[in-house]
Amino acid sequence: MSHETYQTLLANLETVMVGQRQAIRWLLAAFAAGGHVLLEDLPGTGKTTLAKAFARSLTLDFQRIQFTPDLLPSDLLGVSILDPQRQEFRLHRGPVFTEVLLADEINRASPRTQAALLEAMGERQISLDGQRHDLGEWFFVIATQNPIEFHGTYPLPEAQMDRFALCFALGYPDIEGEMRVLTDQRERHPLDALCARAGRAELQDLRHAAAAVRTGDEVRRYLVELVAATRTAPGVALGASPRASLALAGTARALALFDGFDFVTPDHVRELAVPVLAHRLKLDPQARFGGLSAEMVIGEVLRRVAAPV
């Protein structure tokens, strides 16, 4: 049943996102594994549309926050307001109290506001006025940012980047795909016709099934060796953390489930190596100015670490 849920969601999202099967596959894998996603791409490539289409495909609560330089942590988390009748403070909940959160252009907010999401993303809870507030098991963040625009933006700190299970780009559609986009949006946007295709019961089954996929000792060792190799790779000042190993293992299990396997293969690990690991690396300034990229580092690690046969 869980594999059918994936196929249903994939087909539903493909009616809106033309030629983006891999991006949809990775987004669903992150959700099934309980991770968060950062979509980093140029304007107009469909980042926000993918997030909204995903939310409409599920029977989960959805909130969108447009991040701006003047956004305050209280605008995100909420604020305690005095109730004059009861003479007590009551929490006026912010938009973070939802199940699917779209943090649009997240790097436009100040580091102080970005930091307000750290506890929410890491522990699915927030602390306000000395009290803990749970956000629930479904809390899932889809953030977007433009990688080439630097005016009025603040780079995400390493701690924030490490909380995203996957980071990837959508890219431009091919000629045929862009022609279909023009046809599909001639009268109205396909997003307007989208409806929910999976409820909480189906989504719970999907997560349980993904968690039950087996990861053999050899594949698990291969996965850990890939992550560990990023810490000693030339030109890397900060490698991937154990949280990266957990994200890689969890999303690889989800991909295996989507492909009809009850076990993870090295190919599933290799497919996710770049979107799971590259955004977590911090390169030496000299290596970065010399043209080295995190994706190049992961590519070299994949060539150097032998995969199990």
pLDDT, residue 150, reads 67
Query: For the chain, what is the radius of gyration of the CA atoms?
Result: 20
Q: How many CB atoms lie within 10 A of CB 89?
A: 12
Dist. CA 265–CA 260, nearest whole Å: 12
Give the angle subtended at the CA of 267 by the CAs of 265 and 272, to the nearest 5°: 110
pLDDT, residue 192, reads 86
pLDDT, residue 181, reads 86
> Rounded to the nearest 10 degrees, how much is the dihedral formed by the CA atoms of 245, 205, 53, 122?
-40
**Per the structure block, which two tokens stand in for 86?**
């009861």
Q: Which of 303, 302, 297, 253 is nearest to 279 (CA)?
A: 297
pLDDT, residue 1, reads 61
Q: Going by C-beta distance under 8 Å and a sequence separation of 6 or more, which residues neighbour residue 167?
A: 37, 38, 39, 40, 161, 275, 278, 279
Q: Is the dihedral of CA 7, 13, 15, 18 positive or negative?
A: negative
Please check whether residue 104 is in contact with residue 144, taking contact to mean a CB–CB distance below 8 angstroms: yes
Please check whether residue 170 is in contact with residue 39, taking contact to mean a CB–CB distance below 8 angstroms: yes
The pairing of strands 236-238 and 282-283 is: antiparallel
Please check whether residue 93 is in contact with residue 78, taking contact to mean a CB–CB distance below 8 angstroms: yes
**DSSP-based three-state secondary structure for 109:** coil
Please report the beta strands in the chain, taking only residues with DSSP state E, as ranges in sequence order.
Answer: 37-40, 62-66, 78-83, 88-93, 100-104, 125-128, 131-134, 140-145, 166-168, 236-238, 282-283
DSSP result, 196-258: --B-HHHHHHHHHHHHHSB--HHHHHHHHHHHHHHTTSTTEEE---HHHHHHHHHHHHHHHHH
**DSSP-based three-state secondary structure for 25:** helix
pLDDT, residue 303, reads 97
Q: Kindly report the backbone phi and psi dihedral angles of residue 243, in degrees, each rounded to the nearest multiple of 5, phi listed first.
A: -60, -30
pLDDT, residue 32, reads 97
**Per the structure block, which two tokens stand in for 193?**
């016709």
Match 């980042």 to its residue by tokens. Answer: 47
CA atoms within 13 A on the CB side of 186: 5
pLDDT averaged over 10-residue windows placed end to end, the chain, 309 residues = 88 92 96 96 88 93 92 89 74 91 93 91 89 92 84 85 95 88 86 89 95 96 97 95 97 97 96 98 92 96 94
- Residue 131's beta-bridge partner residues? 128
pLDDT, residue 79, reads 83
Match 């907010």 to its residue by tokens. Answer: 109
Q: Which of 40, 57, 89 is nearest to 202 (CA)?
A: 57
